[in-house]
Amino acid sequence: MLYERYYGELVRLAFSLTGDWGLAEELAQETFVRAWRSWANIRDQQAAPAYLRTTLVNLVRKALRRKVRERSAWQDADDPPSADPAASIDLLRALARLPARKRACVVLRFYLDLSEAETAATLGVSVGTVKSQTAKALRRLEQLLAEPSVISAPWPGATKAVPDGP
């Protein structure tokens, strides 16, 4: 069954892109709802995983744009709570500090092990854009991971530091 096979992968992908488990689960569920609604239009059933990933990435983009608009509308209000502290490891913290497109390129290329062409198709950009954005993202990740402040810093937008342990 498609849901059983890909739900966990989609939640992890969404979390890698958003840093929020609750939002990641919602977006993965919405991805399957949209796939179910469009199932008759999917000509090649073997393309369903790519369709799911593309739909999820588009939903993440929409959610992130909405979050930016909400934050700008509520500039004086407290920031929303950070992601699950148990899942905040150094790499995820550094990834969260990358711009959305660069983060998406890195996650799709190295987490899901998609080719440059598959990543480009998922994001709706050229292969050259994937190559340049990935290279820039990797250089920035290297810099961020070398900074001790990234290791102990909370998720971007968090109001307080995430505890390191029990």
CB-CB contact of 117 with 148 (8 Å): no
Say if residues 123 and 108 touch (Cβ distance below 8 Å): yes
Residue 56: its pLDDT value, please? 93
Domain ranges (residues) in the chain: 2-152
What is the pLDDT tens value at each position of the chain, 166 positions in all?
Answer: 888 999 999 999 999 888 889 999 999 999 999 988 888 777 777 888 888 999 999 999 888 877 776 665 555 444 444 544 433 467 788 888 999 899 999 988 888 888 899 899 888 999 999 999 999 999 998 888 887 765 555 545 544 444 444 3
**Whole-angstrom Cα distance, residue 21 to residue 166?**
20
H-helix segments, the chain: 2-18, 21-38, 48-73, 90-96, 100-106, 116-123, 127-146, 148-152
Residues 46 and 64: their CA atoms lie apart, in Å, by 29
CATH of domain 2-152: 1.20.140.160
Sign of the alpha-carbon torsion through 128, 134, 140, 142: negative
- The number of beta carbons lying within 10 Å of the beta carbon of residue 147 is 12
d(CA 133, CA 121): 14
Tokens representing 72 are 């700008």
